[in-house]
Homo-oligomer: A and B are copies of this chain.
């Protein structure tokens, strides 16, 4: 049986995440409907991560099994003809038979976008978190360095998903500013539930002076979610990069 990996891009505004409740419109359900029509049999897609309602993906990976004989490079146009305009399949490739979009993932990058201006921008209404008070990006960047490394991130996760351990490795956490847009880019081997949004909220607390930039190591050690910043809204969050070995890795890292 073929195991096909897809590269997707979607505006998550209308969706209840990749896959959540049975009766909500999800990206997975929408994609599976198109895949089922193209393949001619019911298709179940495995996604590279559970994204929450309203979270976006500049890159996302999903895989599915099929006996359909359509060449992989024909799949994007065939699927896009059936998908709504806020989801696009940009590439497809035949993967190894044991490839699994979530289990084979080596690391992922999420970017949290903050539109920092007194006046909101209508074109970022559902695409960035509007934060009207001035932000101290330098202080946030200084604090963010403490997130990097292999640490217990229990202090910045929401309880809700079972996980064996709350230890993760963060490879980088970059704070960049371009005009009124602040971007927080974090790459890790895995993310706990709401971790990227709680990290962003904690850096906002640093900018607001509620947490000192060098208090983060102590707060992580305390493992107490109540001592860190809030889980900021999903509209600012984007899955931006994802790494795999082999042909899927090459597909996902291409420009």
Contacts and interface: CB of A to CB of B under 8 A. Distances in A.
A174 to B, nearest CB: 21
A122 B77 contact: no
Interface string A7-38: 00111000000000000000000000000000
A118 B88 contact: no
Interface SS majority for chain A: mixed
A89 B9 CA distance: 31
Q: How many copies does the complex hold?
A: 2
A32 B78 CA distance: 45
Interface string A106-125: 00000000000011111101
A11 B87 contact: no
Nearest to A12: B122
A80 B120 contact: yes
A157 interface: no
A98 B122 CA distance: 30
Contact of A125 (B76, B85, B89): B85
A86 interface: yes
Contacts of A119: 76-77, 80, 88-90
7 contacts: A9-B123, A10-B122, A80-B119, A85-B120, A87-B122, A88-B119, A88-B121
Interface of A: 9-11, 56, 76-77, 80, 85-90, 118-123, 125-127, 130
